[in-house]
Each structure stands twice: as structure tokens, then as C-alpha cells.
Amino acid sequence: MISQTAEYALRAVVFLADRADVPQTTQQIAKVTCVPAGYLAKVMQGLRRAGLVAAQRGLHGGFTLARPADELTVLDVVRAVDPLPRIERCPLGLSGHQTLCPLHRRLDGAVALVEKALSESTIAELLTEPKRGKGPKPLCSLTSSDG
């Protein structure tokens, strides 16, 4: 439902949140998130342009979150790289229709529901949640392959 780009951006942001203020290179992020490095580099540029991550150059450079993880929602990340398309006018292209027909009102309403749900989870919550239960770690793999 969200795009591949948005999915990859979320994995990267969750990983950066878990690493707090320690910069992570594209290669490090790519390895843990299982995203091809070339694709990930573009995703990271999108996140940087949107102000969600900061890039530091140099020997110990890399990406860090530009905002606290508890002030960053899942929806913020999706919107930064590939927003969910809302239906704002008649998709049949008919002029003169100021309001949506019942079908397209329903479909747009469903998108609104998703936006609301994704706005209710912060990235910080995704990190802390598994500590309360027996579920896997955030992003499944954070403990195993990130060295």
C-alpha cells in the first residue's frame, strides 16, 4: 500500500533511530535494512532534502536523524519520500464536479484512515515496543547483522 521507496525509508529511519546519534554510512544502513545500496542512496537524499536526516562528511561521517525519534511519525517519513495520493478531484476528469462521487469519497476516505493510523505511531514507539513483549526487535534484524 505504501510504496517500495517509503518502505525503504522507514527501515532506514528506524535503524538510525536505534543508533541514536552515531552516524551510519549508506553501506551500513543498506546492510541492515536489506536495501540495495544504490536505491538506498537515493532514498537517503530524499530524507535529507525533507529535513528528516542530517548528513555528516568525513571519516566518521554518515547519516543521523535530524529530529528526535519521538517527534517523528511513520507518516512523516512516508510523506517525506512518497506521499499517499489523495483523491482531490474527479478521477474521470469531468469538469464541473466540485465534489467527489460516493465511490471516490469512499476511496479517499480510506487513504485518510491510513494517514491517520500512520500519524499515530512515532518512530520511537517502534523501538521501545518489543521490549515489552516477546516480538522481534525493531526491523527484525537490528541485533544480528549490524556488527
Q: Which is nearer to a second copy, 59 or 94 (CB)?
A: 94
With a CB cutoff of 8 Å and minimum separation 6, the contacts of 137 are 130, 143
Alpha-carbon distance values, 80 to 37, 75, 101, 117, 125 (Å) = 19, 8, 29, 17, 19
Question: Phi first, then psi: what are they for 73, rounded to 5°?
Answer: -100, 165
Question: Minimum distance from CB of 41 to a second copy (Å)?
Answer: 19
Query: In residues, how long is the chain?
Result: 147
Is there binding between residue 34 and a second copy (CB under 8 A)?
yes
Count of residues of this chain found to bind a second copy when the rule CB under 8 A is applied? 47
How far are the Cα atoms of 14, 47, 101, 131 from residue 116, in angstroms, in the given order?
19, 21, 22, 25
Q: Which of 41, 50, 66, 140 binds a second copy (CB under 8 A)?
A: 140
**Taking CB under 8 A as the rule, does residue 124 contact a second copy?**
no
Q: Which of the ranges 40-48, 52-60, 62-70, 136-144 carries the binding residues for a second copy, by CB under 8 A?
A: 136-144
Residues 98-117 that bind a second copy (CB under 8 A): 99-107, 109-111, 113-114, 117
Residue 125's CB is within 10 A of a number of other CB atoms, namely 14
- Find the helix or strand (DSSP H, E) in which 103 lies: helix 102-119
By CB under 8 A, residue 29 contacts a second copy: no
Q: Which residues bind a second copy (CB under 8 A)?
A: 1-2, 7, 10-11, 14, 33-34, 74, 84-85, 90-94, 97, 99-107, 109-111, 113-114, 117-118, 121, 125-127, 129-130, 135-141, 144
